[in-house]
Amino acid sequence: MELSGAEILWECLMREGVEVVFGIPGGANMPIYDAMLKYPVHHVLVRHEQGAAHMADGYARASGKVGVAMATSGPGATNLVTGIATAMMDSSPVVFITGQVHAHLIGGDAFQETDVTGITLPITKHNYLVTRAEEIAQVVREAFYIARTGRPGPVLIDICKNAQIQKTEFVYPEKIQLPGYQPPRTAPAAELKKAAQMIKEARRPIILAGHGLLISRAYREMQELAHRAQIPVAMTLLGIGSMPASDPLNLGMMGMHGEAYCNLAIQNADLLIALGMRFDDRVTGNLKTYAPHARKIHVEIDPSEVHKNVVVDLPLFGDLKAVLGDLLPYVEEARHDEWLDQIEEWRAESDSRDIIYWPDDGKLYTAHVIRSIWEATQGKATLTTGVGQHQMWTAQYYPFEEPYRFITSGGAGTMGFGVPAALGVWFTDKSRDVWVIDGDGSFQMTQAELSTIVQEGASIKIAIMNNHFLGMVRQWQEFFFDSRYAATPLHGPDFVKIAEAHGIPGRRITKPEEVKEALQFANQTPGPVLLDFFVEMEEAVYPMVPAGADLHDMIRRPVREKTTA
């Protein structure tokens, strides 16, 4: 059957199970958009291509399926770049499809010509420039396969306009052969036995649970390992949800803003079992003094991550689900009561400093607002965030019982991620309770997507933690630059009016006693709602490991006298 290149693209997308795409049309991808009308796919028209990228990314993270974002050539394509880098850093499977000028014009500075494959080479898992219609089917098939297998990641397909228009015979490639691309599946039995022996010998073991556990859907196997050998679990920011917050073995988040007792446990451990995490500088602090007493097992699908930051004793290459499934039969039951008692002692000391136990002093603290949102949503919402203090407080004060409920930009730390990612999450299941916890700075970066939310009729609740600062940078200035607040005080618009201008009901909350009623209002109002919380302006996230400092060298929240309320 002869089809145009654009039709072939959609035929392939249908075969990949694509139901929703996010994007903006323009000169170089108009044939793709024109052909789209013949196919049962929902297109979400965004207001800025960065939004499309984050939506597709949020969709992918929440569902495990490949997200799809589209843009025209030139500025359309370059507007995707931040979103592509964000997906790359967090191993999110997204296929980006950009239009390109006619093949014969390439290199001639044609209108809206940009070398997007060149630009995105270091921030994609793979990318393609397609100049002929005959290539499209094969390329799309490969792109989806590469995006979702092994260590997932973004793949970009740049399709010249002539290739979209040309007609050719459509033959769907049933098989793909990529000889140089063979992600490891599981580790050899001898290595697994070695790992089990190391676990048996450990007196102070700890599991480091990363994003890979969620990506490979191996969290249940990890929980079984933890329970069988009584091993406490520390999570990275993106590993949150892999262990239920209420599990006694859960130590919460590790690293720069991790729980103090969690970081102390890592520094005193005699065995680290690192699962699908990459020893990022935000979780290790100073590498020279990191977990000095511990032997280290690292289970990783991407060989380039092993020995990169931390040299380990035993690397196990493979898909976590397969590796843990194969490891479990070798792991014996064990108890580490003394070790857990020690950690409990550190935990009690941490509690004495925790802002969450402060009595109501009339001030609106972000940590308290987030805990109230947790209560109002019975801990069952799916949350997206921007980047900054509010993001860290969300990680600390919204205890997640389930995986895939905390969707946030980790590796890239991309402000503006929250609102568009939430729309992507909503498309995975429209009955989900989706909340954005945003900062006033982050919100302003992609607030244009409020229009998209309204156009799509999406029920998304947005809670802005409005401290009138670029809060996290202000905190660094307070701690490390003698409180010289260079370019961090932030004048924002009236967010309630902004919401109302979009037809979204909004409320401003300035006092603790208004919080509960506002959250009820959000829960009871169908469709999107925006809540603008005027929170304490100069509150800091604790604990904090200064960049590059030893992991145990944390700045702690001063213990507060429990006198007046």
Catalytic residues: 49, 111-112, 161, 472
User: What residues are paired with 509 via a beta bridge?
Assistant: 533
* Calpha distance 80→71 (Å, rounded): 8
Q: Within the chain, what is the greatest distance between any pair of CA atoms?
A: 80
Q: Are 424 and 55 in contact (CB under 8 A)?
A: yes
Handedness of CA 307, 309, 312, 315 (dihedral sign): negative
Least distance in angstroms from the C-beta of 534 to ligand TPP? 12
Which residue lies nearer to ligand TPP by CB, 2 or 494? 494
Using CB under 6 A as the binding rule, whether residue 441 contacts ligand TPP is answered as yes
Residues with Cβ within 8 Å of residue 300, at least 6 apart in sequence: 212, 274, 276, 278, 306, 315, 316, 317
Contact status, residue 443 vs residue 385, Cβ threshold 8 Å:
no
3-state SS, residue 541 = coil
Which among 203, 393, 220, 202 has a CA at the least distance from the CA of 314? Answer: 202
Three-class SS state of 310: coil
Q: 271-275 and 67-71: which strand pairing?
A: unpaired
Sheet holding 406-407, edge to edge: 406-407, 382-385, 434-439, 460-466, 529-534, 506-509
User: Does 31 help bind ligand TPP (rule: CB under 6 A)?
Assistant: no
Residue 241 in the binding site for ligand TPP (CB under 6 A): no
- Do residues 531 and 463 make contact, with C-beta atoms less than 8 angstroms apart? yes
Interacting span for ligand TPP (CB under 6 A) from 4-12, 22-30, 129-137, 465-473: 465-473
Q: Is 153 in the site for ligand TPP (CB under 6 A)?
A: no
469 binds ligand TPP per the rule CB under 6 A: yes
Answer yes or no whether residue 390 interacts with ligand TPP by CB under 6 A: yes
Q: Which is nearer to ligand TPP, 381 or 465 (CB)?
A: 465
Q: Which is nearer to ligand TPP, 315 or 386 (CB)?
A: 386
| 50 contributes a contact to ligand TPP by CB under 6 A | no
Nearer to ligand TPP, 352 or 483 (CB): 483
Whether the CA torsion 237, 242, 245, 249 is positive or negative: it is negative
Q: Which residue in 440, 456, 539, 550 binds ligand TPP (CB under 6 A)?
A: 440
Name the minimum Å distance from CB 235 to ligand TPP.
21
Measured from the CB of residue 253, what is the shortest distance to ligand TPP in angstroms? 16
Residues in binding contact with ligand TPP, number by CB under 6 A: 19
Binding mask 253-282 for ligand TPP (x = CB under 6 A): ------------------------------
Under the criterion CB under 6 A, does residue 11 sit at the interface with ligand TPP?
no
Least distance from ligand TPP to the Cβ atom of residue 559, Å: 24
Candidate ranges 57-65, 395-403, 411-419, 500-508; the one touching ligand TPP (CB under 6 A): 411-419
| 315 forms part of the interface with ligand TPP (CB under 6 A) | no
Q: Which one-letter DSSP state was computed for residue 297?
A: E
Cβ 468 to ligand TPP, closest distance in Å?
9
- Applying CB under 6 A, the residues found at the interface with ligand TPP are 386-390, 413-415, 439-442, 465, 467, 469-473
